[in-house]
């Protein structure tokens, strides 16, 4: 493959246009390009740099830009430049070099495979390095890829599966408003951990918010069927907003039941701009505070019923405001009575609290309060490099389905004999990659108590260590639970503390260490996983719960945290029998199995 970093700079003027026309690959070759001044950037792709540059010079928004950087490469084809355009928009939107990216459509076409895609993807890092050397980019790959704005960016390219669903959901929403009926219409997307539910939700919101500005790309030689359908759908939404709403945008609420990730997404929306507003991100109680056209609910399996709540008063007040009996309703019913169209992202296997709506009640609530329900399914594993095989393997282990030992390719799935060896390795990996964390089951009391007022420094952690305060004791090793309930994963003290399910659900980590606590064990006589309720300390989850339901929630908890790691997952089990059971399925961590750091 020819060198990838042949970046040619030309003045963004008529004189520069003539230079491009005279160049070797300026008239009839696939290229990706960046047009900019000191503060503004436009990124594009084309098969004719000279023609496209001429069009941009006649565009009022772009004509005052100063320089065009054209990336030439003799190996490029149309698939490569589409891929690179998307990736450049995504990376540059997180990099701090330019204040504004002025692309309207943000390169949001579906990702697809193509010949030598992995080679081109690997070589993209060389292009990025060259852009840094030219002063067009600032931040390194690692810094960008660990940033929440990168992970949850509205400019993420969707997979084909995600793209198809996004088109269908956008069509559902348009149909709701073009053909109004009594009751609420629902689109429900079912997908297990790591299938990209949050990214898809944000992409749908971004499409709705920016539909009024949508412009069809006239530089395409051909257009795929799905791209054509998405384009026509967005143009139809644009037409509806212009003609039927006099340009007034839809009132959209993006609902997160969990406060930790809610704050993270609020910050993402604040930083991204481009029509996304932090006020769009709300909690379930906020659904009643405005007249929403559309509610999009992520992690909807975490919507609450009236059981084991922290604030019964707020729940009761919201219920009565809608004319509902607090004892008989739930937050899903609130949503269905508060918007014309509701989009639900759902996975019943990630229900981890006794306050969560039970699956059968969830289904019944939908049936009784919806005019039309359109179901969709996400199946492709996006987070974990172990893929669908790893997720299914872990699920089989936790549900005790007999199967052969399986080595997960391209994924470090290992069992440790020494908990501190695991914890220290996770910390070393954090020094190298960032976003490597240790998480545990709720098998120890919270003595130090999380404090959301604790500053994001190591000062309070150091104080606890010096004063010999701790929460978790395993084989004479002392650890401290997370010091904040909000955005713990991204905090400076996160690698030194131990997270729980409530601070990790919804987040990605490069590597995750999982401690199976003293509450979960294996009985070789019954060949079943058993739960010791005396060793389980999540009082809010535990109160008044039948043992079989509580066991299901605890297994869901471990399934959820085992699916957090992108590159690898390490496991330690406190109970000897649990460890012995896991040894049948997870390779031992040793000098031969551990990768060098």
Give the span between the Cα atoms of 169 and 374, in whole angstroms.
9
- DSSP letters for 476-541: TEEE-B-S-SSSGGGSTTGGGSEE-HHHHTT--EEEEEEEE-TTEEEETTTTEEEE-GGG---HHH
Residue with tokens 């997307």: 189
pLDDT tens digits for 482-504? 998 888 999 999 999 999 999 99
Tokens at 529, concatenated: 């996983």
3-state helix, strand, coil in the chain (%, to 5): 40, 20, 40
Compute the C-alpha angle 379/354/452, nearest 5°.
90
Closest CA to 378 of 203, 237, 504: 203
Helices 387-398 + 547-562 axis angle, to 10: 150
pLDDT tens digits for 296-308? 999 999 999 999 9
Give the span between the Cα atoms of 217 and 105, in whole angstroms.
9
186: left (phi over 0), alpha (psi -120 to 50) or beta: beta
Q: Return the DSSP state at 20.
A: H
Positions of the chain with pLDDT lower than 50, given as ranges:
1-2, 107, 219-223
200 within 8 A of 108, measured Cβ to Cβ: no
Tokens at 573, concatenated: 């089990």
Using CB atoms within 10 Å of the CB of residue 263, give its burial: 0 to 12 exposed, 13 to 18 middle, 19+ buried: middle
pLDDT tens digits for 453-484? 788 889 999 999 999 999 999 999 999 999 98
Q: Sign of the C-alpha dihedral, residues 251, 254, 257, 263?
A: negative
Give the span between the Cα atoms of 6 and 12, in whole angstroms.
18
Q: What is the pLDDT of residue 105?
A: 59
Give the span between the Cα atoms of 338 and 129, in whole angstroms.
48
Q: Sign of the C-alpha dihedral, residues 593, 560, 148, 276?
A: positive
Phi and psi (nearest 5°) for 346?
Answer: -140, 140
Give the span between the Cα atoms of 376 and 373, in whole angstroms.
10
What are the strands of the beta sheet with 31-36, ordered from one edge?
Answer: 6-11, 67-72, 31-36, 40-46, 100-101
Q: Return the DSSP state at 111.
A: P
Closest CA to 157 of 390, 382, 389: 382
410: left (phi over 0), alpha (psi -120 to 50) or beta: left
Tokens at 419, concatenated: 């908990």
Closest CA to 141 of 98, 39, 150: 150
Closest CA to 158 of 218, 90, 216: 90
Compute the C-alpha angle 444/447/450, nearest 5°.
100
150 within 8 A of 90, measured Cβ to Cβ: yes
């Amino acid at each position: 493959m020819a060198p990838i970093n042949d970046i040619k700079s030309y003045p963004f003027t008529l004189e520069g246009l003539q230079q491009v026309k005279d160049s070797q690959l300026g008239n009839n070759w696939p290229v990706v390009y960046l047009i900019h001044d000191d503060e503004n950037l436009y990124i594009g792709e084309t098969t004719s740099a000279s023609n496209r540059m001429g069009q941009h010079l006649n565009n009022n928004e772009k004509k005052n830009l100063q320089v065009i950087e054209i990336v030439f490469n003799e190996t490029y084809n149309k698939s490569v430049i589409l891929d690179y355009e998307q990736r450049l928009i995504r990376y540059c939107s997180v990099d701090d070099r330019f204040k504004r990216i002025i692309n309207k459509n943000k390169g949001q076409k579906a990702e697809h495979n193509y010949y030598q895609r992995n080679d081109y993807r690997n070589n993209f890092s060389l292009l990025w390095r060259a852009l840094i050397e030219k002063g067009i980019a600032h931040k390194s790959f690692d810094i960008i890829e660990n940033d929440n704005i990168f992970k949850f960016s509205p400019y993420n390219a969707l997979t084909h599966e995600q793209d198809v669903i996004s088109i269908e959901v956008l069509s559902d929403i348009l149909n709701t408003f073009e053909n109004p009926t009594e009751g609420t219409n629902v689109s429900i997307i079912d997908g297990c951990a790591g299938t990209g539910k949050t990214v898809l939700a944000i992409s749908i919101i971004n499409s709705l918010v920016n539909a009024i500005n949508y412009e069809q790309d006239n530089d395409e030689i051909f257009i795929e069927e799905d791209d054509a359908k998405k384009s026509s759908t967005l143009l139809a939404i644009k037409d509806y907003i212009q003609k039927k709403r006099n340009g007034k945008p839809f009132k959209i609420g993006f609902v997160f039941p969990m406060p930790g990730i809610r704050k993270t997404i609020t910050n993402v929306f604040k930083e991204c701009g481009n029509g996304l507003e932090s006020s769009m991100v709300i909690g379930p109680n906020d659904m009643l505070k405005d007249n929403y056209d559309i509610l999009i609910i992520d992690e909807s399996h975490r919507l609450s019923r009236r059981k084991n709540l922290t604030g019964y008063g707020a729940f009761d007040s919201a219920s009565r405001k809608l004319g509902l009996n607090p004892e008989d309703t739930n937050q899903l019913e609130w949503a269905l009575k508060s918007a014309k169209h509701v989009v639900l992202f759902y996975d019943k296997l990630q229900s981890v609290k006794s306050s969560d709506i039970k699956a059968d009640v969830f289904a019944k609530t939908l049936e009784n309060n919806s005019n039309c329900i359109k179901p969709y399914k996400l199946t492709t594993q996006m987070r974990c490099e172990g893929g669908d095989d790893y997720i299914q393997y872990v699920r089989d282990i936790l549900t005790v389905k007999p199967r052969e030992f399986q080595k997960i390719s391209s994924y470090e799935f290992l069992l440790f004999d020494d908990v501190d060896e695991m914890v220290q390795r996770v910390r070393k990996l954090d020094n190298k990659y960032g976003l490597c964390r240790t998480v545990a089951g709720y098998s120890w009391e919270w003595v130090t108590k999380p404090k959301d007022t604790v500053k994001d420094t190591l000062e309070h952690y150091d104080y606890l260590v010096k004063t010999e305060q701790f929460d978790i004791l395993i084989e004479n090793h002392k650890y401290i639970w997370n010091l904040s309930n909000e955005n713990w994963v991204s905090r400076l003290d996160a690698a030194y503390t131990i997270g729980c399910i409530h601070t990790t659900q919804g987040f990605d980590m490069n590597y995750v260490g999982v401690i199976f606590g003293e509450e979960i064990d294996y009985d070789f006589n019954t060949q079943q996983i058993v739960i010791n309720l005396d060793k389980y300390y999540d009082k809010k989850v535990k109160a008044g719960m039948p043992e079989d339901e509580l066991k299901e929630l605890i297994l869901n908890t471990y399934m959820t945290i085992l699916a957090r790691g992108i590159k690898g997952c390490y496991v330690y089990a406190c109970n000897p029998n649990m460890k012995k059971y896991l040894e049948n399925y997870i390779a031992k961590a040793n000098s031969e199995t551990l990768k060098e750091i």
